[in-house]
């Protein structure tokens, strides 16, 4: 049997776990299930900010999945725009239980992904962190900052398609899903203002929210896709979302030496 690709997955941090109520890592089993079903073996990234350890973790795996979770610390993307935001808007940010350790960890991971040129799939918070890592800004709270916004915080329907996104013709996502209009689930209240260099938006909702980013043509990785929605929650019912993970794992398989 050929060796299956190892996929490094970034976990969330929780205030307390089952064992001794210690601060713990957590990960929805839906990420693991989607990777396994597509032919990869999930490996949980260490919750550390040690650059050497994270670099070695990326080196020993064939691809990286940056997952969803808590809000990103606004201090990481604050500029004059964010500093003018009201306290009411900033109070919508959900504080992380690890004093920002996950943020730092994922910034290092993203740096290593590009330095080592590894395939990457970024989902929801991971999509936002990808933009922040390259100097991009975020909408802190969609409801308060986007006029006429759709309801993107559909926590009551996390497994269902709740609105649509228009896909760029010829984009990787449109090729994978074989469509120009893609239904998405939506469980977030923050979003990308606009893609930072070197990214380009390839899926946009009707209210202008960036639902997917890809790399510009001159800066290629073996696989790069960053999405605001949660395809791992849609794979059981919809072929299109399974195809996202299948294409990601196919690219990672090619990395096996």
Using the predicted structure, report yes or no on whether residue 89 has a pLDDT greater than 80. no
- pLDDT, average across residues 232-243: 96
Give buried/exposed letters for 94-113 (b at 16+ CB in 10 A, else e): eebebeeebbbbbbbbbebb
Residue 218 belongs to a domain: yes
What φ, ψ does residue 102 adopt, rounded to 5°?
-65, -40
Confidence of residue 49 (pLDDT cuts 50, 70, 90): very high
Is the pLDDT at 181 greater than 70, yes or no?
Answer: yes
* Residues facing residue 64 across a β-bridge: 8, 120
Q: What's the domain range around 185?
A: 6-253
Query: Would you say residue 190 lies in a domain?
Result: yes
> Minimum mean pLDDT among 70-74, 176-180, 216-220, 243-247: which range?
216-220
Residue 1 lies in a domain: no
63 within a domain of the structure (yes/no): yes
Residue 92 tokens read as: 């919508």
Residue 97's CATH number? 3.40.50.880
> Is residue 37 in a domain?
yes
Q: How confident is the model at residue 240 (pLDDT cuts 50, 70, 90)?
A: very high
| pLDDT over threshold 90, residue 1 | no
Q: How many domains, the chain?
A: 1
Name beta bridge partners: 25: 13
Asked if the structure places residue 170 within a domain, the reply is yes
Contacts of 96 (CB under 8 A, 6+ apart): 13, 70, 71, 73, 102, 103
Quote the pLDDT of residue 80.
42
Count of C-beta atoms within a 10 Å radius of residue 161: 17
> What does the block give as tokens for 246?
């299948």
| Six token digits for residue 37 | 């079903």
Mean pLDDT of the chain: 92
**What is the pLDDT confidence band of residue 99, given thresholds at 50, 70 and 90?**
confident
Does 147 reside within a domain?
yes
pLDDT at 81 > cutoff 60: no
Q: Kindly state the average pLDDT of the residues 109-128.
A: 97
| pLDDT value, residue 23 | 84
pLDDT higher than threshold 90 for residue 177: yes
**Mean pLDDT, residues 74-103:** 68
Would 57 be classed as within a structural domain?
Answer: yes
**Res 199 pLDDT > 50:** yes
What is the model's pLDDT at position 13?
Answer: 87
């Amino acid at each position: 049997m050929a060796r299956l690709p190892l996929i490094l997955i970034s976990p969330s941090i929780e205030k307390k776990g089952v064992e001794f109520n210690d601060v713990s890592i957590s990960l929805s089993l839906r990420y693991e299930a989607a990777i396994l079903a597509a032919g990869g073996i999930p490996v949980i990234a260490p919750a550390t900010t040690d650059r050497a350890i994270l670099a070695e973790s990326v080196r020993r795996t064939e691809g990286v999945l940056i997952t969803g979770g808590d809000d990103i610390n606004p201090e990481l993307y604050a500029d004059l725009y964010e500093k003018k935001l009201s306290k009411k808007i900033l109070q919508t940010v959900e504080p992380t239980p690890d004093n920002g350790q996950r943020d730092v960890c994922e910034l290092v991971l993203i740096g290593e992904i590009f330095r080592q040129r590894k395939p990457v799939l970024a989902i929801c918070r991971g999509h936002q962190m990808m933009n922040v890592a390259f100097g991009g800004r975020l909408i802190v709270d969609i409801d308060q900052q986007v006029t006429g916004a759709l309801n993107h915080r559909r926590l009551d329907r996390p497994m269902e398609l709740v609105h649509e996104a228009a896909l760029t013709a010829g984009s990787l996502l449109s090729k994978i899903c074989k469509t120009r209009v893609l239904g998405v689930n939506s469980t977030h209240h923050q979003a990308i203002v606009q893609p930072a260099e070197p990214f380009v938006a390839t899926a946009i909702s009707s209210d202008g929210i960036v639902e997917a980013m890809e790399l510009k043509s001159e800066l290629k990785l073996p696989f790069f896709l960053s999405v605001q929605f949660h395809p791992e929650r849609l794979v059981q019912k919809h072929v299109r979302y399974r195809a996202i993970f299948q294409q990601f794992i196919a690219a990672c398989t090619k990395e096996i030496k």
